[in-house]
Structure 1
Amino acid sequence: MTFHDPIRQSKYLRQTLSQDKKPVGFFISAGCPLAVAMPEGKWPLIPDVAGLTKYVKDEIDKETTVIKNATRSLADAYTKLIEEVVKTGKINPNIEDILSFLRGMMQISKGATDIRGFSETELKNLEKIVCQKIAEKLNVELPNNKTPYHKLAKWVNNIDRDTPIEIFTTNYDLLLEEAFESLKVPYFDGFVGTRFPFFDLRAVEDNLIPIHWTRLWKIHGSINWYLKDNKDVYRSTSLEECDSYIIHPSHLKYDQSRKMPYLALIDRLNKFLRQNSAVLILSGYSFSDDHLNDTILNALRANPTAMVIALLYGDLTTITEEKEGEETTVKTIINYEKALNLAENRSNLSIWTLDEAVIGGLRAKWKPTKLDFEAEENLANAIKPKDIPVLNEEGKETGEKLREYQFCIGDFSVLGDFLQELIGKEQFKIEKDGV
């Protein structure tokens, strides 16, 4: 039976992050805020997509405002909007589906009196309140300076490199900015200026900013990006602007001005992966965005020397039992089916989950080649043994145990610990070598 060695892969990741000339990037996505430890009753710092969907619905349900020339409240209009999304085949639409559909209707509503029962004014007000509620929920601060975000920022700040670190994120929140600024780590996000920092397309495309500045590319926009007078994108520090939010839930961009940052940053991701021997580490990404998947896969096809490592939270498969009368049916559920299909057909896309990995197109369980590995080889204690009870044909435990291994680095908090320990290892190596 074939296995993947987690010790070997841990060393590979360590060596990759230690090479100062190799283009290295991180892709931080929706699952990462869930890894931030919070005081009891305060978790999560930011909810997942399902939680954010419920929050927006609950908040809008409280709205009693009736738009001018409309016959219903915003709450009733939002309920009707969700019903229209369901008609398109989305059984249980999330906030990204809803906002994408809303933006699509806004695109064709100009000059029309009625689109699926909505006026142009009603659609504009719905879009404004949805983005406002998203921004309110995401406008949070990290609980302390020991979060995975701070550990990522510390690693960036403590490793001298000949090539800059590039961080891509689909998140709208300001957690990365907070961590970097609290540690005085310089970064560039595409905006320049003081009063109304504007998006500098040339600076993004030419990439001629200082090497020690980390590149922070917010592909889907941010809660502090706005559209002024429907033509100019700018970044604010007040979070109290009256202009439209630049929040992109998907590749559907309904306004040319809003398109500009998105297209430039998608192109930046493509250019990064087309560099020789580039490595992109994904964390918190579930491969649910087909447009981003296409961008990544096309770049990997064009550049066989590039590598993408997707660190996925939890198991690749979940086994459940369903009872019907006296019969019990065992079902195996694949938690990351899209990621699995992509990785099995693309040798330079690897996925690492808690129980399994797909590396070089080969899917297998984790198991160290040598079982007496030292702590030095297990950075951040990311590799953990797990004893599984052995069952007989009747499904009862035999008393024997089968040892399996878990690689926990798909948890963003463990990745943070890994980077934290890596700083110490690198500094020790420098002192030892007398450099």
Structure 2
Amino acid sequence: MDKINVIREIRELKTHLSYSKNIGFFFGAGTSCALGIPNVEQLTAGIEATLTDDFLVNFKLVKTDLESIITTRKVNIEDILNQIRRIRELTGETIKEYEGVSGENAKLLDKEICKIIYEIILDKESVADIDTTKKFFAWLSLLNRDYSKEVFTTNYDLIIEKSLEASQIPYFDGFVGAFEPFFWQESIDQFVSKNDLTQNWIRLWKIHGSLSWFWKEDKKTNSQKIIRIGKVENIKKEDNELVIYPSKEKYDSSKKQPFIAYFDRLKNYLLSGELLFVFSGYSFSDQHINEIIFNCLRQNNRLTVLVFFFLDSEVENLYKQTSSYMNLNVFGPTKAIINGNLGEWEFTPHLYPNEKSDTYWNKAKNEFMLGDFNQLVKFFIANSGKKETIESITK
């Protein structure tokens, strides 16, 4: 296996960060896990441990059925929610059954699971240290760019919103209004101009839904729309369904709902010209997202994608799919993909005597550290020259 000089690549990375006018980010579950929010496996186990009576019986029926179909990995809660929603659609939410689960019970189970997810995640959020996220957005908001600052995420927790609001950093997610903010498709179909007052606002696109989104029936059109609600005092008493990991088209199809418009935004953004796009905490397990990313890598030769992985196995898995992409660089603890080549990190401090490596290299473990979101943010701040300003914003 080839050797890749980690110091040389970090110097190249610093140059990218310094001179790229347009920088975007994509955050997966790993960024929230770094702050103590449960990952999908932990969430699946927590939900199964919480469910009781008929809810648990139906949950196990769905899970067992999926385990006979999905054999290459563990079935998770997102698989289960997808299947439950298929049952709802197939049965029309009636007494008709699929694999022993009626449409009526599937609807009740769907709502119960989402409420448990809400309670589990909000409980962890209440004790999470969000300083890292606050510092990241303070750093991002200080970047002097000519483009809007766009952040895409599959996370449905509210860590990002809490961090931005705690630091009083303005952001926009496509919802407008005050009483029951509604999604305004036209607001994200085009990019802002340089003289737009909101140009430097953070753009936040939550492509798997959010704990603050709820389905609400529009009685005039007999269809469902999505509204955004702030803090919910008691999720058990909330009649409207949560919109997390949406997989059903339960709305007026003439109007794009957030998750569909966000996918379009991601594609258009990646094709928009010169762009540095950074992934953190995303394992590339969602084929719908991957298809957009890989297509854009092929179509836009001015797009540079950087991926930071927490595990070397993730580097190897991505290499099997992306070995031909020269504009994709991937960083793992001991392995990396640079210019289409998979190699092992080589640390040569004697060749760079003035290089400070403590922000990205763990000498004790002989590992690259930036796959950890906390370390990645420290690296950004350390090389920004604005550490004191960032600290003052987050305080």
Secondary structure class of the residue paired with 2:383: helix
Partner of 1:365: 344
Which ranges of structure 1 fall in alignment gaps of 5 or more residues? Answer: 37-44, 65-72, 317-333, 388-404, 429-435
CA distance in 1, matches of 2:127, 2:354: 30
Report the equivalent of 1:291.
288
SS of the aligned residue for 2:97 comes to coil
Task: Report the counterpart of residue 80 of structure 1 in structure 2.
Answer: 61
State how 1:59-74 maps to structure 2 within 5 Å: 59-60=50-51, 63-64=52-53, 73-74=54-55
| Contact 2:25/2:151 (8 A) holds in 1 | yes
Q: CA 1:113/1:142 → structure 2, altered by over 3 Å: closer, same or farther?
A: closer
Shift of 1:30: 0.5
Residues 1:176 and 2:170 are matched in the alignment: no
Q: How many angstroms does 1:338 deviate by?
A: 3.0
List per-residue Cα deviations over 1:130-150 (Å, max 9, x = no partner): 111111111143657663212
In structure 2, relative to structure 1, the CA distance for the partners of 1:257 and 1:360 (3 Å cut) is: farther
Bigger mean CA deviation after superposition, 157-166 or 1-10: 1-10
Query: Match of 1:198?
Result: 182
Aligned equivalents of 2:374, 2:173: Cα separation in 1: 24
- CA distance in structure 2 between the partners assigned to 1:304 and 1:427 by the alignment: 37
Task: State whether structure 2 residue 122 is matched by structure 1 residue 141.
Answer: no
* Structure 2 unaligned blocks of 5 or more: 218-222, 390-395
Residue of structure 1 in register with 2:225 after alignment: 232
Note the alpha carbon deviations across 1:61-119, whole angstroms, 9 max, x for none. xx23xxxxxxxx22212121212222323463111111111112212111672222222
Q: Are the equivalent residues in 1 in contact too, given 2:22–2:146 (CA < 8 A)?
A: no
SS in 2 for 1:381: coil
Quick one: distance in 2 between partners of 1:3 and 1:335? 18
Indicate the SS of the match to 1:226: strand
1:421 Cα deviation from its structure 2 partner: 1.2
Aligned residue number for residue 392 of structure 2: none
TM-score by length of 1: 0.79
Q: 1:145 to 1:78 in 2, by over 3 A?
A: closer
- Structure 2 CA distance for partners of 1:107 and 1:338, relative to 1, 3 Å: farther
Per the alignment, residue 276 of structure 1 pairs with 273
Cα distance in structure 2, aligned partners of 1:13 and 1:410: 14
Report how far residue 164 of structure 1 moved: 1.7
Does structure 1 retain, via aligned residues, the 8 Å contact 2:88–2:104?
A: no
**1:322 maps to which residue?**
none
Measured at CA, do residues 175 and 235 of structure 1 come closer, stay the same or move farther in structure 2, by a change above 3 Å?
same
The one-letter code matched in structure 2 to 1:3 is K
Question: Retained in 1: the 8 A contact 2:225–2:251?
Answer: no
Range moving further from structure 2, 224-233 or 109-118: 109-118
Q: Provide the alpha-carbon RMSD of the alignment.
A: 2.4
Partner of 1:206: helix, strand, or coil? coil
- Give the Cα–Cα distance (whole angstroms) in 1 for the partners of residues 121 and 191 of structure 2: 29
What is the TM-score of this pair, normalised by structure 2? Answer: 0.87
Letter in 2 for 1:29: G
| CA displacement at 1:412 relative to structure 2 | 0.5
1:22 alignment partner, SS class: coil
Larger deviation, residues 3-12 vs 369-378: 369-378
Deviates more, 1:281-290 or 1:336-345: 336-345
User: Could you tell me whether the CA contact under 8 Å between 1:18 and 1:426 is conserved in 2?
Assistant: no
- Greater displacement, 362-371 / 227-236: 362-371
| Equivalent position of 2:14 in the other structure | 14
- The answer as to whether partners of 2:22 and 2:147 remain within 8 angstroms in 1 is yes
- 1:370/1:337 CA distance change after superposition, 3 Å: closer
Q: Which has the larger radius of gyration?
A: 1
Contact preservation (8 Å) 1:35, 1:148: no
Aligned length: 371
Q: 1:365 is paired with a residue of what secondary structure? A: strand
Contact persistence 1:349–1:360 (CA under 8 A)? yes
1:51 aligns with 2:34: no
Pair 1:409-2:370 in alignment? yes
- Mapped contact 1:142–1:175 kept (Cα < 8 A): no
- 2:218 counterpart of 1:218: no
Greater relative contact order (CA < 8 Å, ≥ 6 in sequence): 2
- In the alignment, structure 1 residue 187 sits paired with structure 2 residue 171: yes
Matched to 1:158, the amino acid is L
Q: 1:11, 1:377 within 8 Å by CA — same for their partners in 2?
A: no
Secondary structure at 2:146's aligned position in 1?
A: coil
SS of corresponding position for 1:371: helix
Show the 5 A alignment for 1:195-344.
195-208=179-192, 210-229=198-217, 230-239=223-232, 240=235, 241-248=238-245, 252-256=247-251, 260-314=257-311, 316=312, 334-344=313-323
1:143–1:134 CA distance, 2 compared to 1 (3 A):
closer
Decide whether the 8 Å contact of 1:138 with 1:172 is kept in 2: no
- Name the CA distance, whole Å, in 2 between partners of 1:105 and 1:374: 62
Identical aligned residues as a percent: 31
- Where 2:89 maps in the other structure, the secondary structure is helix
Q: Which amino acid aligns with 1:382?
A: Y
The Cα of 1:254 is off from its aligned counterpart by 4.2
